[in-house]
A and B are shown apart, each in its own frame.
Chain A
Protein backbone atom coordinates (compact mmCIF):
# COMPACT_ATOMS: atom_id res chain seq x y z
CA UNK A 1 0.00 0.00 0.00
CA UNK A 2 1.33 3.39 -0.93
CA UNK A 3 2.15 5.71 1.91
CA UNK A 4 1.20 8.65 -0.28
CA UNK A 5 -2.16 10.04 -1.25
CA UNK A 6 -2.87 12.70 -3.84
CA UNK A 7 -5.47 15.40 -3.35
CA UNK A 8 -6.12 16.95 -6.75
CA UNK A 9 -6.89 20.45 -5.58
CA UNK A 10 -7.22 21.99 -9.05
CA UNK A 11 -6.17 21.15 -12.63
CA UNK A 12 -2.76 22.71 -11.82
CA UNK A 13 -2.30 21.86 -8.19
CA UNK A 14 -2.01 18.79 -6.03
CA UNK A 15 -1.40 18.18 -2.36
CA UNK A 16 0.47 14.96 -1.69
CA UNK A 17 0.17 13.65 1.81
CA UNK A 18 3.26 11.73 2.92
CA UNK A 19 3.30 8.86 5.40
CA UNK A 20 5.06 8.29 8.67
CA UNK A 21 8.62 7.91 7.37
CA UNK A 22 10.45 9.34 4.38
CA UNK A 23 13.42 7.01 4.00
CA UNK A 24 14.90 4.67 1.39
CA UNK A 25 11.80 2.45 1.62
CA UNK A 26 9.28 5.19 0.86
CA UNK A 27 11.44 7.57 -1.23
CA UNK A 28 10.72 5.78 -4.55
CA UNK A 29 6.97 6.00 -3.83
CA UNK A 30 7.25 9.74 -3.26
CA UNK A 31 9.04 10.21 -6.58
CA UNK A 32 6.40 8.07 -8.31
CA UNK A 33 3.51 9.95 -6.73
CA UNK A 34 4.91 13.35 -7.67
CA UNK A 35 5.56 12.09 -11.24
CA UNK A 36 1.94 11.00 -11.40
CA UNK A 37 0.68 14.41 -10.27
CA UNK A 38 2.97 16.29 -12.65
CA UNK A 39 2.05 14.01 -15.55
CA UNK A 40 -1.61 14.81 -14.92
CA UNK A 41 -0.79 18.51 -15.38
CA UNK A 42 -0.55 19.30 -11.69
CA UNK A 43 2.97 20.70 -11.58
CA UNK A 44 2.32 22.86 -8.51
CA UNK A 45 2.76 20.30 -5.80
CA UNK A 46 2.58 20.63 -2.04
CA UNK A 47 3.97 17.77 -0.01
CA UNK A 48 2.03 17.68 3.25
CA UNK A 49 4.39 16.36 5.93
CA UNK A 50 1.99 16.61 8.86
CA UNK A 51 2.00 12.83 9.31
CA UNK A 52 5.74 12.45 8.68
CA UNK A 53 7.66 11.85 11.87
CA UNK A 54 10.95 11.03 10.19
CA UNK A 55 12.95 11.97 7.13
CA UNK A 56 16.55 11.10 6.33
CA UNK A 57 18.85 11.96 3.42
CA UNK A 58 17.08 9.44 1.17
CA UNK A 59 13.76 11.16 1.78
CA UNK A 60 15.35 14.56 1.30
CA UNK A 61 16.92 13.37 -1.96
CA UNK A 62 13.50 12.26 -3.19
CA UNK A 63 12.00 15.66 -2.32
CA UNK A 64 14.79 17.39 -4.27
CA UNK A 65 14.24 15.06 -7.23
CA UNK A 66 10.52 15.78 -7.06
CA UNK A 67 11.20 19.53 -6.87
CA UNK A 68 13.25 19.27 -10.06
CA UNK A 69 10.48 17.29 -11.75
CA UNK A 70 7.88 19.93 -10.83
CA UNK A 71 10.10 22.81 -11.94
CA UNK A 72 10.95 21.10 -15.23
CA UNK A 73 7.20 21.02 -15.93
CA UNK A 74 6.90 24.74 -15.23
CA UNK A 75 5.66 24.34 -11.68
CA UNK A 76 7.16 24.12 -8.23
CA UNK A 77 7.16 21.91 -5.17
CA UNK A 78 6.64 23.16 -1.65
CA UNK A 79 6.59 21.40 1.67
CA UNK A 80 4.21 22.11 4.51
CA UNK A 81 3.54 21.14 8.11
CA UNK A 82 7.00 19.68 8.71
CA UNK A 83 7.69 18.31 12.18
CA UNK A 84 10.72 18.83 14.37
CA UNK A 85 12.86 16.01 13.00
CA UNK A 86 12.21 17.00 9.38
CA UNK A 87 13.08 20.62 10.20
CA UNK A 88 16.29 19.45 11.89
CA UNK A 89 17.41 17.56 8.77
CA UNK A 90 16.47 20.48 6.50
CA UNK A 91 18.43 22.93 8.63
CA UNK A 92 21.53 20.75 9.07
CA UNK A 93 21.69 20.17 5.34
CA UNK A 94 21.06 23.87 4.58
CA UNK A 95 18.13 22.79 2.44
CA UNK A 96 15.55 24.89 4.27
CA UNK A 97 16.42 27.69 1.85
CA UNK A 98 15.53 25.56 -1.17
CA UNK A 99 12.66 23.68 0.43
CA UNK A 100 11.23 26.43 2.59
CA UNK A 101 8.85 24.93 5.12
CA UNK A 102 5.32 26.32 4.92
CA UNK A 103 2.90 26.00 7.79
CA UNK A 104 -0.28 25.02 6.04
CA UNK A 105 -0.57 22.77 2.97
CA UNK A 106 -3.68 24.65 1.84
CA UNK A 107 -1.90 28.01 1.65
CA UNK A 108 1.61 26.98 0.61
CA UNK A 109 0.99 28.41 -2.85
CA UNK A 110 -0.84 31.49 -1.62
CA UNK A 111 2.05 33.90 -2.30
Chain B
Protein backbone atom coordinates (compact mmCIF):
# COMPACT_ATOMS: atom_id res chain seq x y z
CA UNK B 1 0.00 0.00 0.00
CA UNK B 2 1.30 3.40 -0.95
CA UNK B 3 1.66 5.68 2.05
CA UNK B 4 -0.35 8.89 1.99
CA UNK B 5 1.86 11.80 0.87
CA UNK B 6 2.42 13.94 3.93
CA UNK B 7 1.90 17.26 2.20
CA UNK B 8 -1.46 16.49 0.58
CA UNK B 9 -3.97 19.28 0.98
CA UNK B 10 -7.64 19.52 0.01
CA UNK B 11 -9.69 22.58 -0.79
CA UNK B 12 -13.44 22.85 -1.20
CA UNK B 13 -15.88 25.32 -2.69
CA UNK B 14 -19.66 25.23 -3.04
CA UNK B 15 -20.80 27.18 -6.07
CA UNK B 16 -24.50 27.97 -6.36
CA UNK B 17 -25.48 29.20 -9.82
CA UNK B 18 -27.12 31.63 -9.86
CA UNK B 19 -26.07 33.88 -8.15
CA UNK B 20 -22.54 32.54 -8.38
CA UNK B 21 -20.80 32.58 -11.74
CA UNK B 22 -17.72 31.03 -13.21
CA UNK B 23 -15.79 33.95 -11.70
CA UNK B 24 -16.38 32.41 -8.26
CA UNK B 25 -14.63 29.25 -9.46
CA UNK B 26 -11.66 31.36 -10.58
CA UNK B 27 -11.57 33.15 -7.25
CA UNK B 28 -11.60 29.80 -5.45
CA UNK B 29 -8.60 28.59 -7.42
CA UNK B 30 -6.74 31.84 -6.82
CA UNK B 31 -7.06 31.17 -3.09
CA UNK B 32 -5.78 27.62 -3.59
CA UNK B 33 -2.73 28.83 -5.52
CA UNK B 34 -1.98 31.41 -2.87
CA UNK B 35 -1.65 28.51 -0.44
CA UNK B 36 0.31 26.45 -2.99
CA UNK B 37 2.98 28.57 -4.62
CA UNK B 38 4.78 25.28 -5.34
CA UNK B 39 2.29 24.36 -8.10
CA UNK B 40 3.88 25.24 -11.44
CA UNK B 41 2.37 28.03 -13.51
CA UNK B 42 1.58 25.63 -16.36
CA UNK B 43 -0.36 23.34 -14.02
CA UNK B 44 -2.25 26.30 -12.57
CA UNK B 45 -3.18 27.55 -16.04
CA UNK B 46 -4.31 24.07 -17.10
CA UNK B 47 -6.45 23.44 -14.04
CA UNK B 48 -8.02 26.88 -14.08
CA UNK B 49 -8.95 26.32 -17.71
CA UNK B 50 -10.41 22.89 -16.96
CA UNK B 51 -12.46 24.16 -14.02
CA UNK B 52 -13.71 27.16 -15.96
CA UNK B 53 -14.88 24.87 -18.78
CA UNK B 54 -16.56 22.48 -16.34
CA UNK B 55 -18.46 25.22 -14.50
CA UNK B 56 -19.37 26.96 -17.76
CA UNK B 57 -20.83 23.68 -19.04
CA UNK B 58 -22.90 23.26 -15.89
CA UNK B 59 -24.32 26.78 -16.20
CA UNK B 60 -25.00 26.45 -19.93
CA UNK B 61 -26.71 23.07 -19.58
CA UNK B 62 -29.02 24.37 -16.85
CA UNK B 63 -30.11 27.80 -18.05
CA UNK B 64 -33.36 28.03 -16.12
CA UNK B 65 -32.57 26.46 -12.80
CA UNK B 66 -30.36 26.76 -9.80
CA UNK B 67 -27.53 24.27 -9.59
CA UNK B 68 -25.16 23.44 -6.78
CA UNK B 69 -21.67 22.59 -7.92
CA UNK B 70 -19.24 21.32 -5.31
CA UNK B 71 -15.59 21.63 -6.24
CA UNK B 72 -12.76 19.78 -4.53
CA UNK B 73 -9.14 20.32 -5.37
CA UNK B 74 -6.60 17.98 -3.83
CA UNK B 75 -2.94 18.69 -4.28
CA UNK B 76 -0.40 15.99 -3.65
CA UNK B 77 3.32 16.16 -4.27
CA UNK B 78 2.79 14.48 -7.64
CA UNK B 79 -0.76 15.25 -8.77
CA UNK B 80 -3.54 17.79 -8.80
CA UNK B 81 -6.93 16.14 -8.46
CA UNK B 82 -10.01 18.12 -9.35
CA UNK B 83 -13.41 16.68 -8.50
CA UNK B 84 -16.74 18.32 -9.19
CA UNK B 85 -20.24 17.21 -8.28
CA UNK B 86 -23.21 19.08 -9.67
CA UNK B 87 -26.97 18.84 -9.26
CA UNK B 88 -27.64 19.84 -12.86
CA UNK B 89 -29.21 17.85 -15.66
CA UNK B 90 -27.59 14.56 -16.48
CA UNK B 91 -25.08 14.76 -19.32
CA UNK B 92 -26.55 12.37 -21.83
CA UNK B 93 -24.85 10.95 -23.79
CA UNK B 94 -21.84 10.98 -21.48
CA UNK B 95 -19.19 13.45 -22.61
CA UNK B 96 -16.13 12.12 -24.35
CA UNK B 97 -12.99 13.51 -25.88
CA UNK B 98 -13.90 15.18 -29.12
CA UNK B 99 -12.08 16.98 -31.86
CA UNK B 100 -11.93 20.75 -32.15
CA UNK B 101 -14.83 22.17 -34.17
CA UNK B 102 -14.33 24.01 -37.49
CA UNK B 103 -12.04 27.03 -37.23
CA UNK B 104 -14.66 29.73 -37.24
CA UNK B 105 -17.08 27.94 -34.91
CA UNK B 106 -17.83 30.02 -31.84
CA UNK B 107 -18.44 27.12 -29.46
CA UNK B 108 -17.64 23.45 -28.99
CA UNK B 109 -14.04 23.66 -27.74
CA UNK B 110 -14.60 23.32 -23.99
CA UNK B 111 -14.64 19.55 -23.69
CA UNK B 112 -11.76 19.13 -26.11
CA UNK B 113 -9.69 21.51 -23.97
CA UNK B 114 -10.54 19.58 -20.81
CA UNK B 115 -9.34 16.31 -22.32
CA UNK B 116 -6.18 17.92 -23.72
CA UNK B 117 -5.22 19.51 -20.41
CA UNK B 118 -5.93 16.56 -18.10
CA UNK B 119 -4.00 13.33 -17.79
CA UNK B 120 -7.14 11.46 -16.78
CA UNK B 121 -10.79 12.39 -17.10
CA UNK B 122 -13.61 10.40 -15.60
CA UNK B 123 -17.29 11.29 -15.82
CA UNK B 124 -20.13 9.44 -14.20
CA UNK B 125 -23.73 9.94 -13.17
CA UNK B 126 -24.37 8.78 -9.65
CA UNK B 127 -26.90 9.58 -6.94
CA UNK B 128 -28.60 12.12 -9.19
CA UNK B 129 -25.36 14.05 -9.67
CA UNK B 130 -22.86 14.59 -12.46
CA UNK B 131 -19.45 13.61 -11.12
CA UNK B 132 -16.23 14.62 -12.79
CA UNK B 133 -12.81 13.44 -11.67
CA UNK B 134 -9.85 15.13 -13.32
CA UNK B 135 -6.24 14.21 -12.70
CA UNK B 136 -3.23 16.13 -13.77
CA UNK B 137 0.30 14.98 -13.16
CA UNK B 138 2.26 17.90 -11.81
CA UNK B 139 5.02 19.16 -14.09
CA UNK B 140 7.74 19.71 -11.56
CA UNK B 141 6.92 17.82 -8.43
CA UNK B 142 8.62 19.47 -5.49
CA UNK B 143 9.71 17.76 -2.31
Contacts and interface: CB of A to CB of B under 8 A. Distances in A.
Contact of A57 (B48, B53, B59, B104): B53
Given A85-B45, A92-B116, A57 B110 contact: yes
B56 A56 contact: yes
A64 interface: yes
A60 B23 CA distance: 16
Interface of chain B, main secondary structure: helix
Interface string B102-120: 0111111110110011000
Contacts of A98: 103-104
Contacts of A24: 21-22, 56, 59-60
A53 B56 CA distance: 18
A83 to B, nearest CB: 9
Given A23-B52, A92-B113, A64 B26 contact: no
A21 B109 contact: no
Interface residues of B, number: 28
Interface residues of A, number: 25
Contacts of A95: 103
Interface of A: 21, 23-25, 54, 56-58, 60-62, 64-65, 67-68, 84-85, 88-89, 92-95, 97-98
18 contacts: A24-B56, A24-B59, A25-B23, A54-B48, A56-B52, A56-B56, A57-B53, A57-B109, A57-B113, A58-B56, A61-B107, A85-B45, A85-B48, A88-B46, A92-B113, A93-B100, A94-B103, A97-B103
